[in-house]
Amino acid sequence: MGGHTDLSDCIIQVNKDNNAIKGSLNFVPIKIHMNDKTKEFSNNFIVTNTPIQLGNNKQWNRLETFLRGAKLIGTDISLHDNETLILSQREIQDNDSLSTTCDPKQIYVVDSTIDKMLNFEREGNEQRIEEELNKFYEYIQLNNLLHNNDI
Taking only the tens place, the pLDDT of each residue in 115-145 is: 778 888 888 888 888 888 888 888 888 887 8
pTM, to two decimals: 0.58
Q: What is the DSSP string of 10-44?
A: SEEEE-GGGTT-EEEEEE-SS--S--S--STTTT-
| Alpha-carbon 142 to chain mean position | 17
Is 117 within the bounds of a domain? Answer: yes
Whether the CB-CB separation of 30 and 68 falls below 8 Å is answered with yes
Domain that holds residue 104: 11-146
- Structurally, the chain folds into a number of domains equal to 1
Domain CATH for 53: 2.40.128
pLDDT per position as a tens digit, 77-96: 876 655 666 655 555 555 54
- For the four alpha carbons of 24, 28, 30 and 35, in that order, the dihedral sign comes to positive
